[in-house]
Amino acid sequence: MNFQKFIIFGVLISILVITMASWTMAEESSFVTQSFTSNESEDEFSTHIAMGHIEDVVFVKEVSPTGVIEIDKITFTVVNDDQNVHSFQICAIIEGPSGTYSPPIGNAPACTNTELIEGSSKSVNQSIDFLNAINVSDIVDISISIEEK
């Protein structure tokens, strides 16, 4: 009986030692603290974040032939947050009821490109037109993305 307790105690001590050793090594060379990119595979894992943002978004509404209010266009301002000159592509998708989308599934998102924007400047009067207007009361979600060109 004492021998079994000794073996169990030994196993627990071994697990504790292995855990502490692994934890110590992980602290020094943790993949969490290391970059996910290496010089050999930089393009493989790098994620580029746009150095700009969108503000002053306005959803342009129209009255449809059936008398409902629909969104068929958005206007916005693009701000270059960086000190360098950039051009941006902005894309949008509106999701309506029962999985209907504008633009429809299988089509490219509705996009627009800005001209070159000086560092820390704005590009006003940008817009995206939607081919299929969606009833305002039926909108489920609107997705807008910005990407450097």
Give mean pLDDT, residues 66-75: 93
Q: What mean pLDDT is predicted for residues 107-129?
A: 93
The answer on pLDDT for 22 being more than 70 is no
Alpha carbon distance 99, 93 (integer Å): 12
Token pair for 47: 């994620």
Distances (CA, A) of 74 to 25, 42, 101, 121: 52, 36, 15, 21
Does 80 score more than 50 pLDDT? yes
Instruction: Between 76 and 33, name the one with better pLDDT.
Output: 76
Confidence of residue 52 (pLDDT cuts 50, 70, 90): very high
For range 35-56, the mean pLDDT = 62
- CA torsion 131-137-96-142 (nearest 10°) is 80
Average pLDDT estimate for 5-23? 61
User: Which range is least confidently modeled, 21-30, 39-48, 64-73, 93-102?
Assistant: 21-30
Query: What mean pLDDT comes out for the span 21-49?
Result: 47
**pLDDT at residue 18, rounded to an integer:** 63
Q: Where is 142: in which H helix or E strand? A: strand 141-148
Provide the pLDDT for residue 103.
92
Q: Beta strands 69-80 and 88-95: pairing type?
A: unpaired
Q: Residue 140: its pLDDT value, please?
A: 92
Q: What is the pLDDT of residues 102-115, one digit of tens each?
A: 999 899 889 999 99
24 pLDDT higher than 50: no
